[in-house]
Structure 1
Amino acid sequence: MAACIWEWLIENEEVKKIDRIMVATLFSVCGAVGYRIYSKVLAQKYNFDSYSSISFINVNDEDIGNRVVKMIAAVLETISGYQSGTKVFSLAGISNCFVVGYIAIIFMMTLYIGMKGKKHFLFYTYIVMLVAFNTFIMLFTDVGFSSGVFVSRYYGLALTFLFFIIPIYCEVEANNRKKIVYMACIMISLVVDSFVNTLQIQATDLNVGRRGAITYLKNNDLNFGYATFWNANVTTELTDGEINLAPICSAKSMKSFEYLMKKEYLNIDYIDSTCFILLTREEYNDEKECSVIEGGRKEYEDDFFVVLTYHNSEELYGLAANDN
């Protein structure tokens, strides 16, 4: 938004130079206010990662070429719906061809603007530099990869700015026929890709294994408990906040997994009524001999999840203290 407004100010001859300075100052003030809110309000209530701990990778120990290939594959899947491992002559494979096609068109538009476009050059430079900077950060720091897997969702946010290239290109390109062809190709590709992905999403319920445990918790008015990270917030989301879960590292340790967690959950006396712990079948089997599981009352189990209940959170943490 800041780049858009600044671009308009640069091109608008009627805007006085002093007004541009005032707007630039306003941006700085807004940034300072935002940081103050982050550090004094949000940071006091929530735990989240910051970028202060970023470090560069050891290039001698890393295969840069392999990192580039993983980035390309993950980015295709993140921003375009590209599906790896599909057969070429299948519905998903045909969709992949359209995906690669419209990404190639956007790339060609970017090159054309760089060579021919003087209009909107500031905004164009901002977009290109934003993507280039994020590419560098993802490749040469420990932000982009986790246990050898590229975390594409961080990079995908920067790449969405590339879609602003399309309206800039339409203003720069004088050949209307070429613009129509390019836009038609992009629209057809997006429609085909969206159609194929929608069909596959509708045919697959990734949360089917959670339904039984969630139904039990709702029917028995169990509205607060604990679960490992990938099962805590998901359950809260699927129940529209009716059931709240505090993320933990494991049942044995009962150590809080503080990422995206409300700070009041850190209080071991947070709830003075019946609470529960929700474990996957694998988590339950791996730690079934720990005090938390042995001391809990097994109220529900199926092929996917196990629910154990406790009189209150103090009892639960007291059992965990036996193993720690």
Structure 2
Amino acid sequence: MKTDPQTPHGARGAASRAPAAPGRTRGFVMALPPILLIALFIGVPIVLALGFSFGFTGGLNHTISVIGQNVHEAHGAPTFGAYADLFSDSRFVDDLAMTVTVAVVSTSIVIALAVGIGLYLKFAGGMVGKVLSALAVVPLFIPVVIASWAILGFYSADGFLRSLAAQFGLGFPVFSFTIVTVVIGSVWTSLPFATLLVTSGIQAVPQAMIDAARDAGAPFIRVVASIVVPMAGVPIVIATTFTAIGILGSFTVPYFTGPNSPNMLGVAMSNYFSAFNQPQQAVVMAFVVFAIAAGIAAVYVWANFRSAKESGAV
């Protein structure tokens, strides 16, 4: 097709860009349904819950404010009464401390195990490495409820470990309904995803760089600290953030295996909402967990941005 030499260059450019507008509109319309769905079923409830935590009890929050107990109402300006009420409660402070402790300890153990398995696969491999990696993902195929009950029975007063120790005249501590079983259950449920992500990142480290460091006389610790971990740093950070956020908001494991008090905030929210009939305090707990998770998610966003920058996408 020949271009008319009399047609101005600007007119030809405008004509070539004209079909782009309908394409953008069509793409926006196609993406609109899921956006509206998320806004309707996630965004609106979050906004309502945030307003309810600050004492706005009108509109869609009216019914729950009438039914609930110890509800702080805003008179024109937002009120922080529910937040002050909750943070002055020693039970909530203990629950918050336990939640953060379990998240930190469990995440540290999960990442340490995942990195250890990844390093073994990278440097040793063989049948033992394959068995370790296979065992690490087994919890992925076992429901959390079943695993929680199994862990609870395994460490109970008449469980396997105490029964085995009794055969030799020894005693073994009872871990059921303690923070120890919560940590064990959290590690069990979080290990598969972290192992898959971390081992894939470690396996992606070029073997040539490791061999060059070894040829230069670098010991194993130096190779791991200076080459493997920095190059696999982004997958490790992503696995850490996902694990921490998942443990932070967990419910099933602490509900079945943890103590009655203190407990993790996931269980405490349920108790405040249903058993204590204090929905406003439960919502405040949810936003406290959200604030902590948002701080962890910021690290995840930074890791993704760094990964994209290194790949040249940014």
TM (norm. structure 2) is 0.19
More strand by share: 1
More helix by share: 2
TM (norm. structure 1) is 0.19
Higher relative contact order (CA 8 A, sep 6+): 2
Q: Which has the larger radius of gyration?
A: 2
